[in-house]
Amino acid sequence: MNKLISIICPIVFSAGTLISCGTGVQQTAIMSDDTAYNYTVNDIQNLQDFLLGKSSGGELSGKPYDLNGDNKWNSFDLTLMREMVTIPDTNSSDTLVVYFSQTGNTGKIAEYLIGLTHADSYVIEAAVPYTAEDISYQNSGCRANQEQNDKSVRPEIASPIESLDSYDTIFLGYPIWWGEEPRIIDTFLESYDFSGKTVIPFCTSASSGISTSERNIASLADIGTQLPGKRFPGSASESDVSAWLDSLELPEKQSQQKLIIDISGTQLTATLADTQAAKELAENIKSSGSVTAELSEYGGFEKVGSLPWSLTKSDQQTKTKPGDIMLYQGDKMTIFYDSNSWSYTPLGSIDNITQDELSELFGNGDITVTLTIRAC
């Protein structure tokens, strides 16, 4: 089963120097002026676009993107930011997104996948980095052309991932170079054991398809199951990636669904209850894509608000605990950050969060939540 688990780790910086990393409810950087900033996938995309010249950076004025303290934004800052948003943890997920990206197009698709699946990630980087001249395809003598013309070439990978043993499903992303995968992808495929694993290729290109690279991948590694891949144009959006992800027949994909609750950028994962109301809730949210609800403070122990639909009630007298999500009066959702006794229909329960964390996150007064459903 693909366990989709949020990997959440605050990184503390002082004058641009990494001090410590622990666990918490959000990714937070504390800069030297003691101002907290929560880095997201959007920040990664912003910085990536700036480095690729897709934005002037003017609209990003004041953003704390100089993570290594050298008074400029560069690829090292982007690497640090990626580490802050998705810290690898071999015990957290059995899904891994592996990708090689030189102009940012494949990296953008990979970041969408990581955000949608909460998978771990690994970036393939060459021991001898590729320069702009190296991938200047108009120059027949450039490095990329020389490598692609010799199927025996295996560029060395910088900082290879130690093992793939803890992963069952691997998304493998790359650009198309002269109709095929870059040779460094061949290096990766020949370096690990893929037997018993599900491998799903994805690529980016202006026009070339993925089929030749899919055949090459199948011939280079003994793969348990290789699912049909997907080519994306550089303009592909997160919704395009989400639609493709939903079409995949992943192992045990339908065995469990999780309710994702977004509160001011912080995402909580909840296990759905085994009730008809919970099933209807999940189906309604999936049909809508996402649902926003306004929840009001009530009684000092819960947040409650109306849903867009009525759900099937199966009320029973219940003593709730912090994190419980209940259906009230058939059309209202209640999230508890303390306890209460009343007649409710269970909808689910928030995973891995304490009462203190819930209380701090909810605060005093009303809140707005966005609900989505993810398969795992």
Model confidence at 97, in pLDDT bands (50, 70, 90)? very high
Measured CA to CA, the distance from residue 52 to residue 244 in angstroms comes to: 26
pLDDT at 27: 37
Cβ atoms of residues 205 and 234 within 8 Å: no
What angle separates helix 238-247 from helix 105-117, to the nearest 10 degrees?
A: 60
pLDDT at 113: 95
Instruction: Give burial (CB, 10 Å; 0-12/13-18/19+) of 56.
Output: exposed
Query: Which of 31-45, 155-169, 302-316, 323-337 is predicted with the least confidence, judged by mean pLDDT?
Result: 31-45
pLDDT at 376: 66
The domain segmentation of the chain, as residue ranges, is 11-253, 256-375
Measured CA to CA, the distance from residue 319 to residue 258 in angstroms comes to: 23
Give the pLDDT mean for 98-122.
94
Measured CA to CA, the distance from residue 327 to residue 342 in angstroms comes to: 11
pLDDT above 70: residue 318 = yes
Query: Which of 71-75, 281-285, 371-375 is predicted with the least confidence, judged by mean pLDDT?
Result: 71-75
- Per-residue HEC secondary structure of the chain comes to CCCCCCCCCCEEEECCEEEEECCCCCCCEECCCCCEECCCHHHHHHHHHHHCCCCCCHHHCCCCCCCCCCCCCCHHHHHHHHHHHCCCCCCCCCEEEEECCCCCHHHHHHHHHHHHHCCEEEECEECCCCCCCCCCCCCCCCHHHHHHCCCCCCCCEECCCCCCCCCCEEEEEEECECCECCHHHHHHHCCCCCCCCEEEEEEECCCCCCHHHHHHHHHHCCCCEECCCEEECCCCCHHHHHHHHHHCCCCCHHHCEEEEEEECCEEEEEEECCCHHHHHHHHHHHHHCCEEEEEEEECCCEEEEECCCCCCCCCEEEECCCCEEEEECCCEEEEECCCCEEEEEEEEEECCCCHHHHHHHHCCCCEEEEEEEEEC
Model confidence at 343, in pLDDT bands (50, 70, 90)? very high
Q: Name 96's bridge partners.
A: 120, 170
130, 135, 136, 144, 177 from 139: Cα distances, Å: 14, 9, 6, 9, 13
In percent, the amount of the chain with pLDDT more than 90 equals: 59
pLDDT at 30: 40
Does domain 256-375 fall under CATH 3.30.2020.30? My reply is no
Model confidence at 299, in pLDDT bands (50, 70, 90)? confident
| Fold of the 11-253 domain | Rossmann fold (3.40.50)
pLDDT at 37: 73
Instruction: Give burial (CB, 10 Å; 0-12/13-18/19+) of 350.
Output: buried
What's the distance, CA 74 to chain centroid? 23
pLDDT above 90: residue 56 = no
Q: From 124, 222, 135, select the one nearest 174 (Cα to Cα).
A: 124
Beta-strand pair 95-99/120-123: parallel
- The model's pTM is 0.48
Measured CA to CA, the distance from residue 370 to residue 352 in angstroms comes to: 19
pLDDT above 60: residue 22 = no
Average pLDDT over all residues of the chain: 84
Cβ atoms of residues 24 and 354 within 8 Å: no
Give the pLDDT mean for 59-85.
80
Measured CA to CA, the distance from residue 89 to residue 29 in angstroms comes to: 19
pLDDT above 80: residue 76 = no
Model confidence at 92, in pLDDT bands (50, 70, 90)? low
For the record, the structure tokens of 160 come out as 């290879």
Phi, psi dihedrals of residue 153, rounded to the nearest 5°:
-70, 135
Model confidence at 280, in pLDDT bands (50, 70, 90)? very high
Measured CA to CA, the distance from residue 316 to residue 194 in angstroms comes to: 48
pLDDT above 50: residue 344 = yes
Model confidence at 326, in pLDDT bands (50, 70, 90)? very high
Query: Which of 71-75, 270-274, 321-325 is predicted with the least confidence, judged by mean pLDDT?
Result: 71-75
pLDDT at 363: 83
pLDDT above 60: residue 183 = yes
